[in-house]
Amino acid sequence: MQKTALVTGAARGIGLATTKLMLDRGWHVAMLDRDSDELEIASAGLHGATPFSCDVSIQSRVEETIPAILDKFGRLDAVVNNAGVAHFGPMENTDFQAWRTVMETNLDGVFLVSQATVPALKQTRGSIVNIASISGLRASTLRVAYGTSKAAVIHLTKQQAAELGEFGVRANCVCPGPVRTKLAMAVHSQDIIDAYHDAIPLNRYGSEQEIAEVIAFLCSEQASYVTGQIIASDGGFESTGIGLP
């Protein structure tokens, strides 16, 4: 039986790269995104992929969409909680609605999709991969909402690993460094880009494909004894002690 992965935020960026890699490795992929137009275009011609339009921050939409995915594929072996939004700003300049908007997608979305898919994952002894960020590992002056949401996702991953291990379900977290996606380039000024190049030991941004490789590994049988882990794919940035720009 062909394995099925659900990838959220699959219409572009890291989610689309993960979808393509998983398809190449023989998985079926349920591509979920709230941007239905971009999702249609991205999924066209991807054999084995099916698009599902859904906003992960809306509980009723998640509760309708997960059964539709299970109806289509009959099983779920991996859930990649990748959908995310960025926000730059220090605490004093971040209004509460902006804070809530970030939390609703980056944290509530991971909770809702995970909760809705766990019964199916228990049946296959499948796995969850949550996408956090180096911003969840390190504080910086500019990322109060984004960094806090991602730190919470890191902890949620550990909770999931603790809770679901007895059912054979694994949960891991990937913390990407900077990648030139729409999300990052909307908030990275040239100064920030230059600072990252200097601060990252490999002296460059990562690619979507490099992050997708780590995600696909964690979903695979090769990672069958890996759970509760927080893995930075960041060119060495997190381990060097240099502050975030």
CB of 92 to ligand NAD, least distance (A): 23
The sign of the torsion formed by the CA atoms of 164, 168, 169, 174 equals: positive
Of 101, 86, 124, the closest CA to residue 6 belongs to: 124
Of 169 and 174, which CB lies nearer to ligand NAD in the complex structure? 174
Q: Is residue 100 near ligand NAD by the rule CB under 6 A?
A: no
Shortest Cβ 38–ligand NAD spacing (Å): 6
Among 146, 196, 205, 225, the active-site one is 146
Mark residues 45-84: x for contact with ligand NAD by CB under 6 A, - for none: ----------xxx------------------------xxx
**What does the alpha-carbon distance between residue 38 and residue 91 come to, in Å, rounded to a whole number?**
32
Question: Which of 31, 129, 131, 200 contacts ligand NAD by CB under 6 A?
Answer: 131
Applying CB under 6 A, which of residues 15, 51, 147, 235 lies at the interface with ligand NAD? 15
Sites for ligand NAD among residues 24-43 (CB under 6 A): 33-35, 38
The residues facing 33 across adjacent strands are 53
List Cα–Cα distances, 240 to 46, 50, 106, 151, 193, in angstroms: 39, 41, 26, 19, 18
Scan residues 138-177 and list those touching ligand NAD (CB under 6 A).
Answer: 176
Catalytic (active site) residue 146: yes
Which of 164, 179, 232, 244 forms a contact with ligand NAD (CB under 6 A)? 179
Contact with ligand NAD (CB under 6 A) among 78, 137, 184, 231: 184
State whether residue 220 is helix, strand or coil. Answer: coil
Give the three-state DSSP class for 205.
Answer: coil
Longest Cα–Cα distance of the chain, Å, equals 53
**Residue 153 near residue 103 (C-beta atoms within 8 A):** no
Q: Which of 14, 31, 219, 232 binds ligand NAD (CB under 6 A)?
A: 14
Comparison of 12 and 170: residue with beta carbon closer to ligand NAD = 12
How far, in Å, CA of 208 to CA of 206, rounded? 7
List the 4-8 sheet strands across, edge first: 49-53, 28-33, 4-8, 78-81, 127-131, 170-176, 230-233
Smaller CB separation from ligand NAD, 42 or 76: 42
Please give the backbone phi and psi of residue 86, each rounded to the nearest 5 degrees, phi first.
-105, 155
Please enumerate in sequence order all residues whose Cβ is within 8 A of that of 159, keeping only pairs 6 or more positions apart, or say none. Answer: none
Residue 185 beta carbon to ligand NAD: minimum distance, rounded to whole angstroms = 8
Residue with smaller CB distance to ligand NAD, 105 or 148: 105
| Residues that bind ligand NAD in the complex, under the rule CB under 6 A | 8-9, 11-15, 33-35, 38, 55-57, 82-85, 105, 109, 131, 133, 176, 178-179, 181-184
**Residues annotated catalytic, as ranges:** 146
